[in-house]
Copies of this chain bind each other. A is one copy, B any other.
């Protein structure tokens, strides 16, 4: 059964569908057509149908999509029907912010540890966790089931930490370090490069200000 490879562009749209469907649910809307959703989301109805059909036939001709059913399906597709244990490497401002950000635990992403190498941070309370010495990372990984590691450390240390993670069988890395990690094929990395993001914004701003634009 030769299934199409799902492109990353499609995958990146799924959370957005999920969010809109959640909003519809919250508003008590039980059915929606690709046409209506298209208007709300400002993408073509064709793309919505095409995207969804990559994963299955969730709609009903003449009726549309059942919001709750579709919501649950996308939840499953995104792997949100299970729990994930996460650790944070780097208890700086960003690491702390992520640890304290409530939205993740609501979705099943649970922080079970936070690490730093700074002696001033070790022992500090962050949320309901205590910052541990990164020297203990290796043994911690040995004794705990960790699904995802968040990397919020300077790029100079990122590669070394990554090899410890990989060695201990971590399969998911959420990388906030401003560096491209090299990992084996079976380790998945999702990058959040905030500096890249603000640069993209400044590019757009500069473009906007150029003459002959309107």
Name A's B-contacting residues (CB within 8 A).
11-12, 14-16, 18-19, 41-42, 77-80, 84, 92-94, 96-98, 100-101, 103-104, 107, 109, 147-148, 171-172, 174, 178, 180, 186, 188, 190, 192-208, 214
Chain B residues whose CB sits within 8 angstroms of the CB of A79 once the complex forms: 202-203, 205-207
| Cβ contact of A199, chosen from B14, B180, B192, B198, cutoff 8 A | B14
The reply to whether A203 and B97 contact each other, CB–CB distance below 8 Å, is no
- Choose among B11, B188, B205 the residue that contacts A148 (Cβ–Cβ < 8 A): B205
When distances are taken between beta carbons in the complex, the residues of chain B under 8 Å from A193 are 15
- A contacts with B: majority SS: helix
Q: In the bound complex, what is the Cα–Cα distance between A51 and B153 (angstroms)?
A: 30
A96-B93, A97-B93, A97-B94 known; A107 and B206 CB under 8 Å?
A: no
Q: For the complex formed by this chain, how many copies does it contain in all?
A: 2
Cα-based distance from A202 to B78 in the complex (angstroms): 6
Q: Do B205 and A200 touch (CB < 8 A)?
A: no
Q: In the bound complex, how far is the Cα of B174 from the Cα of A157, in angstroms?
A: 28
CB contact between A174 and one of B11, B18, B97, B201 (< 8 Å): that residue? B201
Interfacial chain B residues near A192, Cβ < 8 Å:
192, 194, 197
Residue in contact with A197 in the complex, picked from B92, B96, B101, B190, CB distance below 8 Å: B190
On whether the beta carbons of B208 and A186 are closer than 8 Å, the reply is yes
